[in-house]
């Protein structure tokens, strides 16, 4: 059984650019959630994808968008990057969408200059 | 909106002592409460969880208690060891919302 993987591990962008982060869910998991973790803070829920559809969203603007593919891997896209978007972006997969144990990936550290 | 408060933000204990971290949640419908340990530069890892139909759960040196009336749950680590040093996060989940609300974290230092 393979764990959750994310790519890239680190990324540097400038303000106004766009970024795409990728997540491969754990084998057999059909649900992926994305989180933003600022330095010294807890993870903040961005959204969840279940069977290729967005299933729940936190307090993030529409410039944060995502996709889930038939193999349940997922992408997080952020447009018009702002300095405050600098953070660790974590994805977590679970067996189903409802109240299941989440397994986190190692994260992508994004720096916006 | 939903909120989870976590205290203390930092905690230092001597090796072998116990550590207690407390969380309070705002949504009375929350029904699943995991605890994660995050070491520096690493991913959060689930260490224990509890569902709302249970008041207490134990796994070796780690235990979690839940008081639904007070909307309060706590992590207890006994016989602490230096490798317990990390940041611990609590979270609350409500069925149908599909989202976990995390606390702000507790940095635990176990002094040898």
pLDDT tens for residues B13-51? 999 999 999 999 999 999 999 999 999 888 999 999 999
Cα→Cα distances B76→A2, A16, A54, A66, B66, Å: 31, 45, 36, 37, 11
Strands A10-13 vs A108-112: parallel, antiparallel or unpaired: parallel
SS3 A63: coil
pLDDT surpasses 90 at A55: no
Q: How far is A3 from chain B (nearest CA, A)?
A: 12
Q: Other CB atoms closer than 10 Å to residue A98's CB: what's the count?
A: 15
pLDDT band at A29 (very low <50, low <70, confident <90, very high): very high
Asked if pLDDT for residue A100 goes beyond 90, the answer is no
From chain B, pick out residues whose CB is under 8 angstroms from the CB of A57: 99
Indicate whether A113 pLDDT > 60: yes
Sort out which chain A residues have CB atoms less than 8 A from B98's CB and list them: 33, 48, 50, 55-56, 97-98
Mean pLDDT for chain B? 95
Chain B residues closer than 8 Å to A105 by CB: 43
Q: Which band of pLDDT confidence, cut at 50, 70 and 90, is reported for residue A2?
A: low
Contact A62, A78 (CB under 8 A): no
Calculate the CA dihedral of residues B57, B63, B66, B70 and round it to 10 degrees.
160
CB B101 within 8 A of CB B5: no
């Amino acid at each position: 059984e393979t764990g959750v993987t994310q790519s890239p591990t680190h990324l540097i962008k400038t303000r106004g650019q766009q970024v795409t982060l990728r997540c491969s869910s754990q084998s057999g998991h059909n649900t992926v959630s994305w989180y933003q973790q600022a330095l010294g803070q807890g993870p903040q829920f961005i959204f969840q994808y279940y069977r290729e559809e967005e299933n729940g969203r936190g307090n993030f603007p529409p410039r944060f968008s995502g996709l889930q593919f038939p193999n349940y891997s997922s992408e997080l896209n952020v447009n018009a990057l702002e300095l405050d978007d600098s953070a660790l972006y974590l994805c977590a997969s679970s067996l189903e969408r409802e109240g299941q144990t989440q397994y986190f990936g190692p994260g992508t550290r994004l720096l916006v200059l | 909106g939903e909120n989870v408060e976590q205290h203390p933000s930092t905690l230092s204990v001597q090796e072998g002592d116990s550590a207690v971290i407390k969380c309070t949640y705002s949504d009375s419908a929350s029904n699943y409460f995991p605890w994660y340990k995050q070491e520096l530069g690493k991913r959060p890892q689930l260490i224990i969880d509890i569902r709302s139909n249970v008041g207490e759960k134990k796994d070796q040196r780690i235990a979690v208690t839940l008081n639904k009336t007070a909307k309060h749950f706590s992590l207890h680590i006994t016989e602490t060891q230096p490798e317990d040093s990390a940041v611990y996060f609590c979270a609350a989940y409500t069925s149908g919302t599909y989202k976990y609300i995390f606390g702000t974290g507790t940095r635990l230092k176990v002094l040898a």
